[in-house]
C-alpha cells in the first residue's frame, strides 16, 4: 500500500497543478482568436475576448465545460461504432496484438544477438536502419501488400505496431542479457553449466528489469504505430480513424477528447506492464 501511495499521490499533485494552470493558459490561448473574431464583426454571443474564450466554436484549448460536453457526445453510447470507447477498444486490440508480436520477435532477436557476435555485426545496422523509415510511408504499402493476400481489418495495423515496437524490446533485452557480472558467468562455467542453463539461471532473471523497461517504451510506440496506421490506411474504426474524420471537420473539441482517450490508453498500458513487473519481479518491488 505504501508503494501505491508513493505512486498515486505525486500523480494527483501533478494533475491538480495542471488543472490550476489550465484555466489561465486556456484563456490566454483563446483570447487572441476571440479578439480577432470580434474585431471582424463576428457574432460570438459574448462581449469581451476573455468571456468569449470559454465559448469559441473551435477553441485552441477547450474550456472544461466544452471538454465535458465533448466527452459526453463522443462517449455515449459506449458500444456505438462512432463512440470513442468502442474505437479505443479497437486501437487497444491492435496495440496489444502488435506488442505481443513485437515481444516474440524482439526476444528472439535479442537472444541471437547475445549468442553470436557475427549475427550482431551483420544485423544490428539493418535493425537500426529499419526504424528510420517513416511509418506514414510504410503503412499504406504494407496495407496494400497484405490486402492482396486477403489480410484486412485490424491485423495490418497490429503488424505495423509490431514493426515500431520490436526495436526497443530487442535493444533492451539484449542489454539485459549481457548485464550479469562476468564473475557470475565464470562461476556457472566452473560448474559446467550449459548455454541453456546459463540463460535460464542467470541471464534471463538479470534481464527482467531491462525487459519491462523496454516493454513500457514499446507499448507507447505500438500505440502510436496503431493510431498512425489507422490514419494512413483505409480504416473503419479506431482512434486514428476518429482523428482523421474530426480533423477534416475542424472539430477541435473532438480532437482534444480523442487525444485524451489516447493518452489514457497509453497510461493504462504502461500501468498494466508495471503491475506485471511487480508480480514477476517481487524482489524489486520490496526495495
Same domain, 48 and 147: no
Q: What is the pLDDT of residues 181-232, one digit of tens each?
A: 888 888 888 888 888 888 888 999 999 999 999 999 999 999 999 999 898 8
Q: For residue 22, what are the domain limits?
A: 2-61
Note the pLDDT of residue 282.
82
Q: Are 111 and 175 in contact (CB under 8 A)?
A: no
Q: How far apart are CA 123 and CA 222, in angstroms?
A: 22
Q: How many folded domains does the chain comprise?
A: 2
- Which candidate, 251, 218, 269, places its Cα nearest to that of 91? 269
In a shared domain, residues 37 and 108: no
Residues 57 and 93 in one domain: no
Residue-wise pLDDT for 246-277, tens only, equals: 999 889 999 999 999 999 999 999 999 999 99
Q: Could you count the other beta carbons within 10 Å of the beta carbon of residue 81?
A: 10
Residue 89 lies in a domain: yes
Answer yes or no: is 67 within a domain: no
For residues 179 and 231, state if they share a domain: yes
Mark whether 140 and 250 lie in a shared domain. yes
In a domain, 254, yes or no: yes
Judged against a pLDDT cut of 90, whether residue 57 lies above it is answered with no
Residues 51 and 125 both lie in one domain: no
259 with 138, same domain?
A: yes
Asked if 180 and 252 sit in the same domain, the reply is yes
What predicted TM-score, i.e. pTM, was given to this entire model? 0.89
Residues 36 and 141 in one domain: no
Residues 90 and 57 in one domain: no
Find the CATH number of the domain harbouring 155. Answer: 1.10.3720.10
Residue 173 has pLDDT above 90, yes or no: yes
Identify the sign of the CA torsion 176, 181, 186, 187: negative
pLDDT for position 3: 58
The answer on 181 and 97 residing in a single domain is yes
Q: Is residue 69 part of a domain?
A: no
Amino acid at each position: 500500500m505504501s508503494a501505491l501511495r508513493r505512486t498515486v499521490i505525486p500523480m494527483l499533485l501533478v494533475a491538480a497543478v495542471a488543472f490550476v494552470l489550465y484555466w489561465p493558459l486556456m484563456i490566454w490561448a483563446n483570447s487572441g482568436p476571440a479578439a480577432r473574431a470580434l474585431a471582424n464583426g463576428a457574432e460570438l454571443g459574448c462581449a469581451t475576448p476573455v468571456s468569449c474564450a470559454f465559448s469559441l466554436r473551435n477553441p485552441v484549448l477547450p474550456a472544461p465545460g466544452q471538454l465535458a460536453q465533448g466527452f459526453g457526445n463522443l462517449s455515449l453510447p459506449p458500444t456505438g461504432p462512432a463512440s470513442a470507447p468502442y474505437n479505443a477498444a479497437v486501437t487497444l486490440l491492435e496495440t496489444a496484438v502488435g506488442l505481443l508480436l513485437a515481444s516474440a520477435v524482439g526476444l528472439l532477436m535479442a537472444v541471437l544477438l547475445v549468442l553470436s557476435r557475427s549475427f550482431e555485426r551483420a544485423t544490428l545496422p539493418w535493425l537500426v536502419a529499419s526504424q528510420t523509415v517513416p511509418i506514414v510511408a510504410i503503412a499504406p504499402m504494407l496495407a496494400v501488400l497484405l490486402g492482396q493476400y486477403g489480410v484486412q481489418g485490424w491485423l495490418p495495423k497490429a503488424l505495423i505496431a509490431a514493426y515500431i515496437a520490436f526495436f526497443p524490446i530487442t535493444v533492451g533485452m539484449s542489454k539485459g542479457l549481457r548485464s550479469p557480472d562476468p564473475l557470475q558467468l565464470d562461476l556457472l562455467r566452473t560448474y559446467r553449466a550449459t548455454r541453456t542453463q546459463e540463460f535460464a539461471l542467470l541471464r534471463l532473471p538479470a534481464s527482467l528489469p531491462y525487459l519491462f523497461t523496454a516493454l513500457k517504451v514499446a507499448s507507447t510506440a505500438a500505440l502510436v504505430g496503431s493510431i498512425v496506421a489507422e490514419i494512413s490506411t483505409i480504416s473503419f474504426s479506431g482512434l486514428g480513424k476518429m482523428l482523421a474524420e474530426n480533423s477534416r471537420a475542424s472539430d477541435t473539441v473532438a480532437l482534444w477528447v480523442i487525444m485524451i482517450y489516447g493518452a489514457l490508453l497509453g497510461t493504462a498500458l504502461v500501468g498494466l506492464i508495471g503491475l506485471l513487473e511487480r508480480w514477476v519481479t517481487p524482489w524489486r518491488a520490496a526495495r
